[in-house]
Amino acid sequence: MCGRGDETHIRALLLQSPAGGGLAPTGLRVRREDDDTTGLQTVVAVTGDPARALEQLIARMSLEPGIRDLHWHLDATPAEAERQAVT
């Protein structure tokens, strides 16, 4: 969640920051909450260590004064989910 006036800046960060850090943006969803709040949701593909890559992105986003709320969720790929279900 971010302020409406910060939306363009936060969008750019979400699409550019992950590049080179083991994250590749694959989608961005924008949801207007009210007159001054925008919800942004980005989906990224992770290569390498997901904890390390996400830590850098989350740390960067948490420093932005325009961000009002920040959450993340890690989904396993289908192959990982199957392997985890088997073990």
For 20-36, how does the pLDDT look when each residue is reduced to its tens digit (9 = 90+)?
Answer: 678 888 889 999 988 89
The correct answer on CATH 3.30.70.260 for the domain covering 2-86 is: yes
pLDDT above 60: residue 10: yes
Q: How far apart are CA 68 and CA 80, in angstroms?
A: 32
Q: How far apart are CA 30 and CA 46, in angstroms?
A: 21
User: Residue 43 is inside which H or E element, if any?
Assistant: strand 37-46
Query: Where are the domains positioned within the chain?
Result: 2-86
Q: How many CB atoms lie within 10 A of CB 12?
A: 10
Q: Is residue 5 very low, low, confident or very high in pLDDT (cuts 50, 70, 90)? A: very high
Q: Which of 5-14, 43-52, 72-81 has the highest mean pLDDT?
A: 5-14
